[in-house]
Amino acid sequence: MDYFKRVAALTPTKFWVNNVSREEAQLGIAAGASGCTQNPSYVWKMLNHPEEKEYATSLLREIMQETDDDNQVICILQRKLIKGVSDIFMDVYNRTHGEAGYVSIQGDPIHEEDYQVILDEARLNREMNPNIMIKIPATESGLKALEILLCEGTPINATEVMGVDQVIALGEIYQRVFEQTGKRPVMYFSLITGIFNEWLRGDVKEKGIDINADVLHQAGMVIAKKVYQLNHDRNYKMGFISGGARTLDDFYEMVGGDVCVTMNWKGSCDELIKENKPVISRLFNPVQPMVLDQLQNKLPQFNQAFQEGGLSVDEFEHYGPVMYFRDSFIRSWESAVEMVASLR
């Protein structure tokens, strides 16, 4: 069997595909993908995708006739493009009776400080298909919208999660909603391990901090191991998505856990299939004390994510890696909006 099918046979670890074209969605499902997630960079990626560019641009021109609001054009385009992908994943959703086959959508990143915008977009996006999962940032405004949507029974993927305190805040909300309403819709949180490591390396370099490169490489996984255990021990019952993969190790190191790892098809999923390495469970390998000592003693920015109480709710959206991640979305979204303006 192909690599991902062997992983599924030997471990509870699953993979999702990220920001896919319609063809990549089909390839992902054939390889065993159990879900799919898109972020606000998706529209810009499809407008520049060699196989989707013509189709996406054609849709864009049609939508431009519907509204003079360039930002709204991109919101509608995102919805139409992701509807096509969610249609493809409906087969997985139906075959598994709603346990898998979700496609998560995260909309306009520019106005995500306004919980009402998040709420309105979420309700509109849910109308597309029953397998649409709403992706919401784990920030102060996002948490407010998320709690309301959970009470309405909406499937949720809480994203932009970089640390322990965000997971605790999400878990407490999820438990509270169940106690108050008896509802427990499907809910995942996405710990953005790869992006956290990318940001941390840049921050360490900028500040001239002397730390062993091998130790630094493990920072995101040290947090992932702690978060995995915490989610289990506190019985939060949330699904764990490992996102922001930047290297193949971002998948290999999660193998063994009940985790969904989301990756781009090209350059990640296809390369893992090509490498076809033996399936080895690694998530539960212990962190060496000297590694944790160096991370905690040299990197206060690591401790903010690792230590319970390191971040308050109002600090979530201003934490370095969260801002770094969101800024990439805003750049792509603004590029797409500027394209609309130039076409007009």
Tokens of 136: 């919401």
Helices first, then strands: H and E counts in the chain: 16, 8
Structure-block tokens of residue 229: 């255990």
Q: How far apart are CA 227 and CA 221, in angstroms?
A: 10
Closest CA to 198 of 14, 322, 338: 322
Q: Could you give the CA distance from residue 331 to residue 47 in angstroms, rounded to a whole number?
A: 14
Tokens of 222: 């040290």
pLDDT (tens place) for every residue of the chain, 344 residues total: 899 999 999 999 999 999 999 999 999 999 999 999 999 999 999 999 999 999 999 999 999 999 999 999 999 999 999 999 999 999 999 999 999 999 999 999 988 788 899 999 999 999 999 999 999 999 999 999 999 999 999 999 999 999 999 999 999 999 999 999 999 999 999 999 999 999 999 999 999 999 999 999 999 999 999 999 999 999 999 999 999 888 999 999 999 999 999 999 999 999 999 999 999 999 999 999 999 999 999 999 999 999 999 999 999 999 999 999 999 999 999 999 999 999 98
Q: Are strands 239-242 and 35-37 parallel, antiparallel or unpaired?
A: unpaired
Write out the two tokens for 87.
Answer: 């249609």
Q: CA 300, CA 283: separation in Å to the nearest integer?
A: 24
Q: Give the Cα-Cα-Cα angle 319, 136, 88 (nearest 5 degrees).
A: 135
pTM of the model: 0.95
Q: Are 268 and 26 in contact (CB under 8 A)?
A: no
- pLDDT at 112 (0 to 100): 78
Angle at 267 between CA 45 and CA 13, to 5 degrees: 105
Predicted pLDDT at 163: 97
Hey, how many other C-beta atoms are within 10 angstroms of the C-beta on 88? 19
Residue linked to tokens 């797409």: 336
pLDDT of residue 110: 86
Domain at 296, CATH number? 3.20.20.70
What confidence score (pLDDT) does residue 218 get?
A: 96
Report the C-alpha gap between 105 and 226 in whole angstroms. Answer: 27
pLDDT digits (tens, 9 = 90+) for 143-158: 999 999 999 999 999 9
Nearest Cα residue to 78 out of 100, 111, 113, 104: 104
pLDDT of residue 303: 97
pLDDT reported for residue 61? 96
* Residue 114: per-residue pLDDT: 87
Q: How far apart are CA 18 and CA 106, in angstroms?
A: 12
Hunting for tokens 């940032």 — which residue is that? 137
Largest CA distance in the chain: 61
pLDDT, residue 13, reads: 98
Q: Domain containing 146: what range?
A: 3-343
Give the pLDDT of residue 225: 98
pLDDT of residue 113: 82
Residue-wise pLDDT for 234-265, tens only, equals 999 999 999 988 899 999 999 999 999 999 99
Q: Residue 293: what pLDDT? A: 97
Number of domains present in the structure of the chain:
1
